[in-house]
Amino acid sequence: MALIVQKFGGTSVGSVERIQAVAEKVKAFCNKGNQVVVVVSAMSGETNRLVSLATEIDDQASAREMDVLLTTGEQVTIALLSMALEKTGIPARSYTGGQVRVLTDDVHGKARIREIDHEKIKADLDSGRVVVVAGFQGVNEKGDITTLGRGGSDTSAVALAAVLKADECQIFTDVDGVYTTDPRVEEKARRMSRITFEEMLEMASLGSKVLQIRSVEFAGKYNVPLRVLSSFKDGPGTLISVEEGDEMERPVISGVAFTRDEAKVIVRGVPDIPGAAYKILGPIGEANIEVDMIVQNIGEDKTTDFTFTVHRNEFSKAQNILRDIAKELGAKEVIGDTDIAKVSLVGVGMRSHAGIASQMFGALAADGINIQMIGTSEIKISVVIDEKYLELAVRSLHAAFELDKPPTK
Ligand code: ASP
Ligand code: MG
């Protein structure tokens, strides 16, 4: 007998018929002798609908009241799903976050879970019930309702799986797993059967369409095996777990992630003196602007071009901050480019394989793609290129590393 936490997202519970289909799925699982805790989101579109109702009254409505409002969406689905389960003959009981004391901090709209009282859930499971818990919500020390941030039901499910020491946390959604790259860019993209927590975090740009990335961090921290599956189509999905040595079919490269969300800022002609990098990035950090890649190199004239990337939304802000600073520093000018894209090759196998970077650069060169910046971590190599070559770059790397073929060991 296994204990499984199953989470169903908004589209999976988007109508009464779909809720009934979820009940059938859960029932089949229970009938195999498993204990099941179900976490659900609000019906698709419901949270947005509630947000717009509030905005009609006040677009600066208090975060406390927003949380009271938004959590009603999940309260509807837990009740309907429990009714549907009971109707099929499966004893079930629904609970709001507060009822199972998903205790969080005080940050309304972005709360973090501190602990969960799992006694009640355990008792229900032991008496043969399915427990249906509202995702996305908790309660603070004062008893006020809190929410975990948009998409937070994934994190609720992982947190419950962690405290219950569940065998697996299954996230049912509208795609059937995590792919080697975005299938809209490369139709040969393949569903991965396994991937490590670390890789999934490095592939956030692909993964975040499937799961709230915070839930992956949480799952990694508490070592909860996480499986992404389709609600609409049977299949094994993608298992996200720790690296398991030899057992794991381990390709060197797992996937190609990319983002168009970044922009490049260049401070040209910076004097090569101690403290210059700090003078440039200090104020950027103080303005809460996140910096991703950084490159600097000394030219013959003993000055450097200091280049870094930021989120595109913060590009103008970063440039404005730097205009005066560049003058003070005696730098030549601040220029920038928003027509860039970042493409990353991700794989834990990189740790034990040499020559991945050169193979990557070779594949890009063969397609005439110029590399503007390079950044690396232990399991990732990223390049910044001209945005117009993004799709070509993704396809050329996908082919060069044979990601369309299932890994063989
Ligand atoms: N209903 C919430 C949202 O739409 C939480 C979730 O679906 O995970 O963000
Ligand atoms: Mg979601």
Q: What is the rounded CA–CA span in Å between residue 40 and residue 76?
A: 10
What ligand is nearest to the CA atom of residue 153? 1
| Whether residue 289 sits in one domain with residue 148 | no
Reported confidence tier of residue 353, pLDDT bands at 50, 70, 90? confident
Q: Does the residue 314 lie in any domain?
A: yes
Q: What is the pLDDT of residue 300?
A: 86
**CB of 153 sitting under 6 A from ligand 1:** yes
Q: What is the pLDDT of residue 251?
A: 80
Average pLDDT over the chain, rounded to whole?
94
Q: What is the pLDDT of residue 243?
A: 76
Q: What is the rounded CA–CA span in Å between residue 387 and residue 30?
A: 49
CA of 125 to the centre of ligand 1 (A): 25
CATH number assigned to the domain comprising residue 55 = 3.40.1160.10
Among the candidates 139, 158, 174, a domain finishes at 174
**CB of 150 sitting under 6 A from ligand 1:** yes
Helix axes 276-286, 315-329, angle to 10 degrees: 150
Q: What percent of the chain has pLDDT over 90?
A: 90
| Whether residue 358 sits in one domain with residue 262 | yes
3-state helix, strand, coil in the chain (%, to 5): 40, 25, 35
User: Tell me: the pLDDT tens digits for 244-297?
Assistant: 665 455 688 999 999 999 999 999 999 999 999 999 999 999 999 999 999 998
Q: Which domain holds residue 268?
A: 256-400
Q: What is the pLDDT of residue 331?
A: 93
Which residue is closest in CA terms to ligand 1's atom 4? Answer: 47
What is residue 374's three-state secondary structure?
Answer: strand
Number of independent structural domains in the chain = 2
Reported confidence tier of residue 209, pLDDT bands at 50, 70, 90? confident
Q: Does the residue 77 lie in any domain?
A: yes
Q: Does the residue 236 lie in any domain?
A: no
| Whether residue 22 sits in one domain with residue 141 | yes
| Whether residue 267 sits in one domain with residue 127 | no
| Whether residue 291 sits in one domain with residue 169 | no
Q: What is the pLDDT of residue 407?
A: 77
| Whether residue 166 sits in one domain with residue 32 | yes
Q: What is the pLDDT of residue 174?
A: 87
CATH number assigned to the domain comprising residue 292 = 3.30.2130.10
Q: What is the rounded CA–CA span in Å between residue 361 and residue 371?
A: 8
Please give the number of the atom of ligand 1 that sits closest to the Cα of 151: 8
Q: What is the rounded CA–CA span in Å between residue 260 and residue 389?
A: 11
**CB of 97 sitting under 6 A from ligand 1:** no
Q: Does the residue 204 lie in any domain?
A: no
| Whether residue 376 sits in one domain with residue 272 | yes
Q: Whole-prediction pTM value?
A: 0.89
| Whether residue 264 sits in one domain with residue 165 | no
Q: Does the residue 262 lie in any domain?
A: yes
**CB of 41 sitting under 6 A from ligand 1:** yes
Please give the number of the atom of ligand 1 that sits closest to the Cα of 42: 1
Write down the number of H helices and E strands in the chain. 12, 20
| Whether residue 24 sits in one domain with residue 160 | yes
| Whether residue 290 sits in one domain with residue 167 | no
User: Tell me: the pLDDT tens digits for 121-170?
Assistant: 999 999 999 999 999 999 999 999 999 999 999 999 999 999 999 999 99
Helix axes 16-31, 63-87, angle to 10 degrees: 60
Nearest to 265 by CA among 318, 303, 321: 318
User: Tell me: the pLDDT tens digits for 8-62?
Assistant: 999 999 999 999 999 999 999 999 999 999 999 999 999 999 999 999 999 999 9
Please work out, in degrees rounded to the nearest 5, the angle formed at the alpha carbon of residue 96 by the alpha carbons of 94 and 102.
125
| Whether residue 262 sits in one domain with residue 168 | no
Please work out, in degrees rounded to the nearest 5, the angle formed at the alpha carbon of residue 80 by the alpha carbons of 102 and 106.
20
Among the candidates 174, 193, 214, a domain finishes at 174
Among the candidates 145, 174, 203, a domain finishes at 174
Nearest to 185 by CA among 402, 365, 393, 370: 393
Q: Does the residue 339 lie in any domain?
A: yes
Reported confidence tier of residue 409, pLDDT bands at 50, 70, 90? low
| Whether residue 277 sits in one domain with residue 166 | no
Q: Does the residue 322 lie in any domain?
A: yes
What ligand is nearest to the CA atom of residue 149? 1
Q: Does the residue 347 lie in any domain?
A: yes
Q: What is the rounded CA–CA span in Å between residue 400 and residue 345?
A: 11
